Amino acid sequence: MSKDILRDLQPESSEEAPEKNEKKKLSKEERRQKEMSNLNNALASGNLTTLISKVASILNRFEETRNSDMALKIKYWEIFEGFTGNFVDVSQMFKLTRDTSISRARAKIQNEYKLYQANDRIKAYRNDKEELEKEIQLSTKPGTPSITLYTDESGKSNADKYMIIGGLWILESDRVASLHRHFAEWRSERKNERNMPKEFHFTEMRGGQLQHYKDFFSEMISMSDMLSLKAVVFDRTSSKFKSIDEMIYALYYQHVHHGVQHEVNSGRITLPRTVNFWKDQEIGADNLFMNELEQHLVTHFEGYFKKNLTLNTFSAIDSKWSTLIQLADLYTGCINRAINSPKDVVKNHKDEFAEFVFDILNLDLSDLKNQEQDMAMIHYI
């Protein structure tokens, strides 16, 4: 294998390269976990610059490619290299990424990272030549469309009456990368403006940044044809849950449940769908919490939606790598500000921003009633 291919099989790093004389050498498992984290950040941010991240994005979006290397390479060539037609002629052959390189990347993702697995039959017979005709059929079969969710939570302190799970929904997952590029360009054009924040977080907003926050949110609204905002709100004083974690598990499922119903009822999506679920990474959250939350979602999806809604991707990511997580943070923070702030609190720029958001979304938080507009939803449980 050439050095170029070996380099390309490594997921892009979200961090600066370590110094040559790094003291601590990572173990094999630590290196695997770091590579998986970098790959998840690349997928969540749409920053697909290496072979392995591009292959992972295809496996994520098109379920049929997990079972068929032929389907995988055709999708890869179509999406990333502009291939059209039903066969590859000699003039194209040397311009396209080699199918063996694509297969090696797929094998690393499925075998080493344990992501986007093929079904058991395909695992057993992947190298069986009798499967070739079935792979050809799979390569032209349309896959189940996906929706992509970026979520955040608020209202967990002892002083808060309401807990909120809020999220930004991308109704066409193949547009995630273009959204990230759009906001990267938007930020680049304004990088020298005074008080431009490095990241947009509701709790970190300063008075001098208010107009930047309004402009940022308004830019999202301009792309409302592909976006939707959802939130579920729960009165903690009525809780019978034994722990805060149990409450969070239940609310994340309710967020998806009511959000999907909202989109189906509005005619913006139809089922079946797969779900790519990204949540804001919480400091101190352990792997057990994440595993149990994922299991809770899978179990309840199967129980209510049967095969019409399945969890495709689930991971926590640092918000600094995702503009879309930051937008979910702002929506969630606005709702938290409106319903959890003491009545006698002195209003400031954060209240002004929250009112701006509710006005532009046509939401009324003057009373605690369910709100459903074309682009936004708040559901009280």
- Does the pLDDT value for residue 11 go beyond 70? no
Domain boundaries, the chain: 3-139, 146-380
Phi, psi of 201 (to 5 degrees): -135, 135
Phi, psi of 316 (to 5 degrees): -100, 140
- Residue 23's pLDDT is 53
When mean pLDDT is compared across 127-136, 254-263, 336-345, the lowest value belongs to: 127-136
What tokens appear for 332 in the block? Answer: 């969630």
- Does the pLDDT value for residue 42 go beyond 60? yes
Question: Is the backbone peptide bond immediately before 18 cis, with ω within 30 degrees of 0?
Answer: no
- Residue 21's pLDDT is 47
- Contact assessment for residue 147 and residue 173, using Cβ atoms and an 8 Å cutoff: yes
The residue among 36, 115, 107 whose CA lies nearest residue 69 is 107
CA distances from 203 to 35, 50, 200, 360 (A): 31, 35, 9, 20
- Residue 85's pLDDT is 66
- Residue 10's pLDDT is 53
Q: What is the mean pLDDT of residues 309-328?
A: 92
pLDDT, tens only, 202-228? 999 999 999 999 999 999 998 888 899
Average pLDDT, the chain: 85
When mean pLDDT is compared across 101-105, 115-119, 138-142, 295-299, the lowest value belongs to: 138-142
- Does the pLDDT value for residue 323 go beyond 60? yes
Q: What is the mean pLDDT of residues 18-27?
A: 60
CA–CA distance, 274 with 314 (Å, rounded to integer): 11
- Residue 15's pLDDT is 43
Confidence bin at 238 (pLDDT 50/70/90): confident
CA–CA distance, 53 with 167 (Å, rounded to integer): 24
CA–CA distance, 164 with 175 (Å, rounded to integer): 27
- Does the pLDDT value for residue 170 go beyond 80? yes
pLDDT, tens only, 254-301? 999 999 999 998 888 999 999 999 999 887 666 888 889 999 999 999
Burial class of 313 by CB neighbour count within 10 A (0 to 12, 13 to 18, 19+): buried
Q: What is the mean pLDDT of residues 20-37?
A: 76
Burial class of 289 by CB neighbour count within 10 A (0 to 12, 13 to 18, 19+): middle
Phi, psi of 318 (to 5 degrees): -70, 130
- Residue 16's pLDDT is 43
What tokens appear for 68 in the block? Answer: 């068929």
* pTM strictly above 0.85: no
The percent of residues above 90 in pLDDT, for the chain, comes to: 44
- Does the pLDDT value for residue 133 go beyond 90? no
- Residue 180's pLDDT is 87
What tokens appear for 98 in the block? Answer: 């080699």
- Does the pLDDT value for residue 138 go beyond 70? no
Q: Please state, as a whole number, how many other Cβ atoms lie within 10 Å of the Cβ of residue 250.
A: 18
CA–CA distance, 181 with 177 (Å, rounded to integer): 6
Q: Report the sign of the C-alpha dihedral through residues 199, 200, 206, 212, in that order.
A: positive
Confidence bin at 3 (pLDDT 50/70/90): very low
CA–CA distance, 152 with 285 (Å, rounded to integer): 13
Q: Please state, as a whole number, how many other Cβ atoms lie within 10 Å of the Cβ of residue 308.
A: 14
- Contact assessment for residue 233 and residue 335, using Cβ atoms and an 8 Å cutoff: yes
Confidence bin at 149 (pLDDT 50/70/90): very high
Q: What is the mean pLDDT of residues 135-164?
A: 80
Q: What is the mean pLDDT of residues 105-128?
A: 79
Confidence bin at 125 (pLDDT 50/70/90): low
Q: Where do we find the tokens 């608020």?
A: 154
- Residue 278's pLDDT is 94
According to CATH, the topology of domain 146-380 is Nucleotidyltransferase; domain 5 (3.30.420)
CA–CA distance, 279 with 282 (Å, rounded to integer): 9
Burial class of 80 by CB neighbour count within 10 A (0 to 12, 13 to 18, 19+): middle
- E strand map for the chain: 146-154, 162-170, 227-235, 273-280, 309-317, 371-372, 376-380
CA–CA distance, 138 with 136 (Å, rounded to integer): 5
